[in-house]
Amino acid sequence: MQGLEVDFSGKVIVVTGGSRGIGKAIVDSFSESGGKVYILDLDERSAEQTVGDFVSRGREVSFFPLDVSDNAMVREVMGKILVEAGHVDVLVNDAGVTLPTPFAECTEKDWDFVVGINLKGTFNTSNFIFPHMMERRYGKIVNIASIAGKLGGGFRGTAIYAASKAGVIGLTKGMAREGGPYGINVNAICPGVIKTAMGNSIPEEQKKLIIQGTPLRRYGEPYEIGNVVAFLCSDLASHITGEIMDVDGGIVRD
Amino acid sequence: MKLDLSGKVAVITGGARGIGKAIALSMAGCGANLAILEMNVEGANQTASEAKQLGVEARVYKADVSNLQQVKEIVTDIKDIFGKIDILVNNAGIVSPKPFLETDEKEWDLILGVNLKGIYNTCFSVLPHMIEQKYGKIVNIASIAGKTGGGFFGNTIYGTSKAGVIALTKGIAREAGPFGINANAICPGPIETQMLADCPEETRQRILSGVPLRKFGHPQDIANVAVFLASDLASHMTGEITDVDGGIMRDN
């Protein structure tokens, strides 16, 4: 019995929304542990900067532009990755947008936009790679949901955001149930409030209330999500699937 | 990414065999010094000796965790000898398969005494120290039985005790969080043990049909998660109940 290590040498990881915030921290965790990481993101400028930063530190990270809500584009781009890399071991669905508009003021366009990226985007990528993972009898999928999916929103996202994340939770469990017999682990993480552009945009008075309701009395750091994602995708967590893991400083406790 | 517990002191209840032994040796392998509380001293001594070969300190205390006074005295001794306590793993537990109406008050008291009060006893004794040093990781081994009300190998009383462990975990997380303490629980599903191996094949298949991963867990699967939760890698997780069950529960 030696020390326990999370190692992704020889593994290929796809991270949607990996150019900044939580996604970037996730890319950091995988690439630091030897993984070859593909960032799929709409924000080309951030992505190029992020890739440059990682490459200069000796990491194997590259980028393809992608709108995850566009099924045809997802299939084309992920198809390219499969050809280039030969296989995909891990998929992290992190691409996501929030919407602070009060429900009564939301429109159909808002619904299509948020659900299109957060939920349909997760479907698009996962649905593409699933047959490949089933054939190899190996795959790890982690979906970044949110405690909003359990609480109905209330921090930076409102009802539509909550619905999209609750959908991600349901999709996670279904994929776990169906993929399990083929050796695929599918889990979700529900971050609480994290120090990213999204989290930091919460007004000060609301921040005080949130901190009061957080046992650890602080927001989370992106790397604290990155660490958990990497662990869940490692062989150390091979018996965990269909699990919805809150990484929220203790807010939800469900 | 290494799971690193170098220099940490871990108190583990029930380290003689199975999950407890796997946790103890995994933590030792990651650098933690161990204090093992066990009724089965011979088994615990074996664990301790294997841990020492990994280069850490390990001491065994004969303990009935359901005895608060005994636990208090042991914790005081651990603090004196090791200097501090960073990690508390509440793994000691007993199971009973008896249908509800075949149980008796004695069984209730015994199972609740070890499985639930035992955790109250250790946490109550260790927490003030963790609060003072503003650091602590508590990992409680509950069970999916605590969510289903028993039904795999444990009965209703067993399930009740584990549901209590789940609530106790959340309460400690809530109260001690402001002092820098993380408290989480693991709910193992069915684990390959002698008891499971002795089951008729029919029963094994019946259970497996409800497990997405189509396999039973191993003590090491639980140990991996326990070490992760006890490490600083899980620093933003608290009050979380993690099922390690091959996908049986799939609850929120």
Q: B239–A253: do the CB atoms touch at under 8 Å?
A: yes
Which residues fall within 8 angstroms of residue B185, CB to CB, at 6 or more apart?
Answer: B139, B140, B141, B142, B165, B166, B169, B240, B241, B242
Question: What is the count of structural domains for chain B?
Answer: 1
Contact call for residues B215 and B204 (beta carbons, < 8 A)? no
Collapsing DSSP states into helix, strand and coil, what is residue B154?
Answer: coil
Report H helices in B34-100: 41-52, 68-82
On whether residue B252 sits in a domain, the answer given is no
On whether residue B250 sits in a domain, the answer given is no
Q: How many helices (H) and strands (E) does chain B have?
A: 10, 8
The interface predicted TM-score of the complex, written ipTM, equals 0.96
Q: What are phi and psi of A155, to 5 degrees?
A: -105, -85
Contact call for residues A93 and A143 (beta carbons, < 8 A)? yes
Taking the Cβ of residue B246 and every Cβ of chain A, the question of whether any pair is shorter than 8 Å is answered with yes
Q: How far apart are CA B217 and CA B227, in angstroms?
A: 16
On whether residue B4 sits in a domain, the answer given is no
CATH of the domain at B26: 3.40.50.720
On whether residue B248 sits in a domain, the answer given is no
- Contact list, A244 vs chain B (CB under 8 Å): 251-252
CA angle A9, A134, A183 (to 5 degrees): 65
How many of the other CB atoms lie within 10 Å of CB of B52?
15
- Contact list, A247 vs chain B (CB under 8 Å): 236-237, 240
Contact call for residues B24 and B38 (beta carbons, < 8 A)? no
Residue from the list B30, B174, B217 with its beta carbon closest to the beta carbon of A239: B217
pLDDT digit string (tens) for chain A, length 254 residues: 578 999 999 999 999 999 999 999 999 999 999 999 999 999 999 999 999 999 999 999 999 999 999 999 999 999 999 999 999 999 999 999 999 999 999 999 999 999 999 999 999 999 999 999 999 999 999 999 999 999 999 887 799 999 999 999 999 999 999 999 999 999 999 999 999 988 898 999 999 999 999 999 999 999 999 999 999 999 999 999 999 999 999 999 99
Residue A18's H or E segment, with its range, is none
pTM above 0.90, yes or no: yes
Q: Class of A12-246 per CATH?
A: alpha beta
Which residues fall within 8 angstroms of residue B242, CB to CB, at 6 or more apart?
Answer: A240, A243, A245, B184, B185, B186, B187, B225, B229
Distance from CA of A230 to the nearest CA of B (A): 9
Q: B214–A181: do the CB atoms touch at under 8 Å?
A: yes
pLDDT confidence of residue A1: 57
pLDDT confidence of residue B197: 83
B120 is catalytic: no
Which residues on neighbouring strands pair with residue B33, listed in sequence order?
A: B9
| B:160-199 residues touching chain A, CB 8 A cutoff | 170, 173-178, 180, 182, 189
**A24: exposed, middle or buried (C-beta count within 10 Å: 0-12, 13-18, 19+)?**
buried
pLDDT confidence of residue A233: 98
Taking the Cβ of residue B30 and every Cβ of chain A, the question of whether any pair is shorter than 8 Å is answered with yes
pLDDT digit string (tens) for chain B, length 252 residues: 999 999 999 999 999 999 999 999 999 999 999 999 999 999 999 999 999 999 999 999 999 999 999 999 999 999 999 999 999 999 999 998 899 999 999 999 999 999 999 999 999 999 999 999 999 999 999 999 999 999 888 899 999 999 999 999 999 999 999 999 999 999 999 999 777 888 889 989 999 999 999 999 999 999 999 999 999 999 999 999 999 999 999 999
